[in-house]
Amino acid sequence: MTSEADGITSDDATLFSRFLDGENEAFVSLFRKYNQRLFVYCVKVVGDAQAAQDMTQGMWERVIGLRQSPQQVRNPGGLFLRIARNLCIDHIRKQRPMVPLEDVENIETMMGTRSAPSDLEELALAMLDRLQFEYREVLILNLYCGYRFDEIAAMTGKTPDAIWARASRARAQLRKLVAAAIDAPPPSQPLAGKRPSRSRTEDP
């Protein structure tokens, strides 16, 4: 495969064109390349493996529907991500409250790629949910889905420098959240010098 300087793979555009023309083998090639990454993206965003499976399947159903009105697509990966992102956002908006990023053990079992996460990794994953969506998304795409910054830039329509800066700010915010969580007293223990109060709640 040949990757262009802007992170877009020209072979993907060719495969997508062949898929629109009715070649099922081209669809299979795209599915094999993108499905796992898109599933991981969805499951890390919404925190529900079953919902992520439904959204990933729904994304592919919408892609197949494009055969009814073929159009030239230069960046199929970006198209797939936009559809998946919209489905995730729709799902999140329907949740009250927002679904936390949890069930890590089940996710890792389905992925079958690594052992159980450490306590620090679980804490970082929980704090990830507190980041603004644009920051959370770039870390998910880079750290969990394995996309390079130039690939993320091509898929999201941003420059690599903008994505790098966004990832840097996201990491800085995540480190602060993790550090604050580590330093915070356990919920079952009162703050020093003060009696516990039933009306007292932790900061969100």
Q: Say which residue, 148 or 31, is predicted with more confidence.
A: 31
Cβ distance 16 to 76 under 8 Å? Answer: yes
Q: Which fold has domain 9-116?
A: Rna Polymerase Sigma Factor; Chain: A (1.10.1740)
The reply to whether 9-116 and 117-184 are identical in fold is no
Instruction: Say which DSSP state 67 is in.
Output: G
Taking the domains of the chain in order of start, what are their residue ranges?
Answer: 9-116, 117-184
Average pLDDT over residues 158-173: 89
pLDDT in tens, 108-156: 344 344 444 556 666 666 777 788 888 888 888 888 788 888 888 888 8
Cβ distance 146 to 37 under 8 Å? Answer: yes
Cβ distance 106 to 49 under 8 Å? Answer: yes
CA pair distance 178, 162, nearest whole angstrom: 24
Residue 151, phi-psi category: left (phi > 0), alpha (psi -120 to 50), beta (remainder): alpha
Instruction: Report the pLDDT value the prediction gives residue 122, as an integer from 0 to 100.
Output: 67
Could you confirm whether domain 117-184 is CATH 2.40.37.20?
no
Residue 103, phi-psi category: left (phi > 0), alpha (psi -120 to 50), beta (remainder): left
pLDDT at 58 over 90: yes
Percent of the chain with pLDDT over 70: 69
pLDDT at 95 over 90: no
In the structure, what pLDDT confidence band is assigned to residue 202 with cuts at 50, 70 and 90?
A: very low
End-to-end C-alpha distance for the chain, whole angstroms: 47
